Amino acid sequence: MRLIVGLGNPGKKYQYTRHNIGFRILDAFVADNVEIDVKWKNNFFSQTLQYKYKDQKIIFAKPQTYMNLSGRAVKQIIDYYDITEEQILVVYDDIHLSLGNLRVRKRGSSGGHRGIESIIQSLGTEEFPRLRIGIKNDSLLQKMDYPSFVLSNFSAQEERDLPELVSNAVQALEDILRYGFDYAMSEYNRTEKNSSGENTS
């Protein structure tokens, strides 16, 4: 069994914020791949959904604890189902990556992300895979501090660009499940481009 966690904050107030991109991508993946009559349940401090995808039993989870306590929900799920850290995949926003860029990692530090910090603290390890979703906007970050930025809504132009980003992220999830992390890392961990389409590394 695998656990795929999308990070975000519960409630309509945060629905379209940058911090909730993990929720949006998980919802899009489920909409594309899961039968329409399968319903989310409220348990383990989360909204959860169990489904068999490509012969793999998967639990999808959206923690409802608010971002800073995401680890509480993840720990309850993995303890109950006896899931190992390597069988977890966390999808979340990354303020250090420009909008539209993705990164697949098998492990790593939190990079200052409060949700990932909470999961690391609850599990006692950094050894769990993740899919990082770029949300950075350099011009806005010149005017806003990090907490205000991640809790802000995407701009109108960014919302027009988001369907492509979400589609790419859903494809990355599908590739991870079909072909594994090494393949996905080679496909998606490419040179980052900024909002102007120029290479930044």
Per residue in 134-163, pLDDT (tens digit) is 999 999 999 999 999 999 999 999 999 999
In this structure, is residue 198 part of a structural domain? no
Of 83, 123, 127, 124, the C-alpha closest to 105 is 127
| Cα–Cα dist 58/40, whole Å | 13
Phi, psi of 148 (to 5 degrees): -65, -35
Domain with 70 in it: what CATH number? 3.40.50.1470
Task: State the DSSP H helix or E strand holding residue 2, giving kind and residue range, or none if neither.
Answer: strand 2-6
- Beta pairing class for 56-63 and 88-98: unpaired
Token pair belonging to 4: 């795929």
The DSSP code for 19 is G
The mean-pLDDT minimum among 113-117, 140-144, 195-199 falls in 195-199
In this structure, is residue 91 part of a structural domain? yes
How large is the average pLDDT for residues 91-118?
A: 95
Span 32-48, pLDDT tens digits: 988 777 789 999 999 99
Owning domain of residue 63: 2-188
Which pLDDT value is given to residue 179?
Answer: 94
Which pLDDT value is given to residue 191?
Answer: 58
| Cα–Cα dist 65/130, whole Å | 19
CB atoms within 10 A of CB 13: 9
Residue 197 has pLDDT above 50, yes or no: no
Strand, coil or helix: 51? strand
CB-based contact 89:5 (threshold 8 Å)? yes
CB-based contact 130:105 (threshold 8 Å)? yes
In this structure, is residue 197 part of a structural domain? no
In this structure, is residue 105 part of a structural domain? yes
The count of structural domains within the chain is 1
* Average pLDDT of every residue of the chain: 92
| Cα–Cα dist 154/135, whole Å | 9
In this structure, is residue 194 part of a structural domain? no
How large is the average pLDDT for residues 162-179?
A: 96
Length of the chain: 201
CB-based contact 88:7 (threshold 8 Å)? no
- Check if 96 is active-site: no
In this structure, is residue 146 part of a structural domain? yes
pTM: 0.92
In this structure, is residue 196 part of a structural domain? no
- Given the residues 2, 18, 19, 136, select the one marked as catalytic: 19
In this structure, is residue 76 part of a structural domain? yes
